[in-house]
Structure 1
Amino acid sequence: MPKLSVIIPCYFNESNIPVTVPGLIANEANFPTGLEFEYVFVDDGSGDGTVAALRRAQAYYPDRIKVVELVANVGSYNAIVAGMAYATGDCLAIITADMQDPPELMVQMYDYWCKGFKLVIGNRQDREETGLGQVFAKTFHWLMKHLALKNIPDGGFDFVFFDRQVCDDVVRMQERNSNLFYLMVWLGYDYVNIPYVRRKREIGKSRWTLQKKIKLLIDSLLSFSFFPIRAISVLGLGLGVVALLYGLYIIGLKFFGGDEPEGWTTLMVVVLFVAAFQMIALGVIGEYVWRGLDAARKRPMYVVKQVNEPTHTLTR
């Protein structure tokens, strides 16, 4: 029978661990007998008692929990890549530590994997959360679907089940400042998506701040779309045409004796508008240049402080 590795990134999840671990263990009963389980918890430089909670959970379930401690906070996606690098399963799943994604859905995902699908996506058909978070999520995924990757499912996703081959491909790429889940789709493997309703967070407080959401949006667009650069080119061309027409208009007034427009107001509007466009264009180009520099330096995506291996592997 194959081995399933479940990767769980953790960041300030001290209060979640005592609930998450038993929930994942209880879900094992829904899988076929003989399947091996491995839970790879990656602490992303938490500043609370997350590591201590993970060590207590590992002491209680020493046969199936692996704890990867990172030296510092490197972001959820880099932490997941670290977990993928240390996972040993034939198939793998990624799930959040706050249990907003239903672990029982992994059983259906596993069935699709057994049928030959190398990537199974749990896409959020809806979510119990309300407010600006929901609006941002819907806007984010609409932009990605229409401007970057047209073959991604509606509703967004960060709950996936995938084959060892997909895992090896992603770990080998070591792509920085990107979107890990969209990268899996970009690889081109056939996938199946399972819609579900994302639960409301019951324990703890989300550390997914607006600043991080905006960075993810920028990273995702620049990683999978040339739209920002193309938009600059189109706008620049449009401004050039407008400038040419306006210049011809001014020259025509000069030669045909018309009243020339007032200079100061017109000049300042044009200068400020063009200057603003230039600054935006330089900012977008700078984002691309920075990502190229970051990749060229080849600094590690994460630094591992310690890995606590399970004592032995459990077969259900």
Structure 2
Amino acid sequence: MPKLSIVIPCYFNEANIPITARELIANEALFPPEVTFEYVLVDDGSRDNTLRELLTFRAAYPDKVRVVELAGNVGSYNAIVAGMEHATGDCLAIITADMQDPPELMVQMYEYWKKGLKLIIGNRQDREETGLQKFFANTFHALMKRIALPNIPDGGFDFVFFDRHVAEEILRLKERNSNIFYLMVWLGYPYVNIPYVRRKRKLGKSRWTLQKKVKLLIDSIMAFSFFPIRAISVLGILLGFGALFYGIYIAVLKELGDIQVEGWTALMVVMLFVAAFQMIALGIIGEYVWRGLDAARKRPLYVVQQVYEQSNLGADRQLPQS
């Protein structure tokens, strides 16, 4: 019997967990009877009652719910990796804890998986959110599609269904400061995408801050594109040619005796422009160097404080891990 592991990162989701649990359990009835379920819920260092709600869900379904408590907040992508490492299913799905993505879509995803596809993507055709949040998301994914991964679906995605083999490849790579969903596409497996409309969040407050969004943008670009380094090279060459032609122009004026004392403003503008370009270039290079240093340290992506699961004897156990 195929086993489906549903990985859910949780961060300040105490209000959502009871509703999420009910929807997930109800969604099981839509699957063929031979499918068994495992829910791997990862508490990403929440400081509210998220863990308590997760353990309540686990207590109601101890044979299918596993709760992974991380020692601190490491970000949703690293929390997803932790969930994948503790999942035991033949196929896996990643869904958010706030139920903005329709869990019933997993039934269609499962049918594609049975046909042999290793990756099925639920991509956001549209979203009910408005304003800056929608604008940022659309701009981000359009930019990534243009300069990094042209084969990703339009609209972006973070709702995926994939084979165990894909999970093993992601775990083997252990990439840091990256985008785990884009990494799945980067692996190269053929995939099918299913468009849907992302729901508006009804409970709780999103912790996906502007700072985290900017970091994700930088991480995604630098993990999958050489565009920043290439842009520095191109601009450097253009500035070099500009300096060469301007130098020739100055030399000709000197020979003709037309050089005057004026020119302080133009000189300062050129100097400030070049200095600004140099600082930006150093900043971009520094981002790459820092990521190399971070990878060389080989620090763990996360530290597991406890795992709440069923032992072979059927008794609940708490496993401290690191």
1:190 equivalenced with 2:190 (yes/no): yes
- Aligned counterpart, 1:276: 276
- Look up the SS of the partner of 2:126 in the other structure: strand
1:257 and 1:284 map into 2 onto residues whose CA distance is 42
Q: Which amino acid aligns with 1:141?
A: H
The alignment's TM-score, normalised by the length of structure 1, stands at 0.97
2:278 and 2:168 map into 1 onto residues whose CA distance is 41
- Look up the SS of the partner of 1:280 in the other structure: helix
1:261 and 1:7 map into 2 onto residues whose CA distance is 70
State whether residues 250 and 260 of structure 1, in contact with CA within 8 Å, keep that contact through their aligned partners in structure 2: no
Q: 1:124 to 1:47 in 2, by over 3 A?
A: same
Matches within 5 A, 1:118-157: 118-157=118-157
1:92 equivalenced with 2:92 (yes/no): yes
Per-residue deviation, 1:63: 1.7
Matches within 5 A, 1:149-168: 149-168=149-168
Q: Which amino acid aligns with 2:218?
A: I
- Aligned counterpart, 2:288: 288
Deviation sequence 1:119-153 (CA, Å, 0-9, x none): 00000000000000000001000110000001000
Deviation sequence 1:237-265 (CA, Å, 0-9, x none): 00111111111111110001224462321
Equivalent residue pairs, number: 312
State whether residues 148 and 225 of structure 1, in contact with CA within 8 Å, keep that contact through their aligned partners in structure 2: yes
2:259 and 2:267 map into 1 onto residues whose CA distance is 16
1:137 and 1:261 map into 2 onto residues whose CA distance is 52
1:39 equivalenced with 2:39 (yes/no): yes
Per-residue deviation, 1:57: 1.1
2:21 and 2:130 map into 1 onto residues whose CA distance is 27
The alignment's TM-score, normalised by the length of structure 2, stands at 0.96
- Aligned counterpart, 2:112: 112
Aligned residues: CA RMSD = 0.9
- Look up the SS of the partner of 2:159 in the other structure: strand
Q: Which amino acid aligns with 1:190?
A: P
Deviation sequence 1:40-61 (CA, Å, 0-9, x none): 0000000100001111111111
- Aligned counterpart, 1:74: 74
Per-residue deviation, 1:3: 0.3
1:286 and 1:262 map into 2 onto residues whose CA distance is 38
State whether residues 91 and 163 of structure 1, in contact with CA within 8 Å, keep that contact through their aligned partners in structure 2: yes
State whether residues 44 and 79 of structure 1, in contact with CA within 8 Å, keep that contact through their aligned partners in structure 2: yes
Q: Which amino acid aligns with 1:170?
A: I
State whether residues 124 and 156 of structure 1, in contact with CA within 8 Å, keep that contact through their aligned partners in structure 2: yes
Q: 1:255 to 1:68 in 2, by over 3 A?
A: same
Per-residue deviation, 1:311: 6.3
- Aligned counterpart, 2:317: none
Moved more, 241-250 or 259-268: 259-268
2:110 and 2:173 map into 1 onto residues whose CA distance is 25
1:248 and 1:260 map into 2 onto residues whose CA distance is 16
Which runs of no fewer than 5 residues in structure 1 stay unpaired? none
1:278 and 1:70 map into 2 onto residues whose CA distance is 41
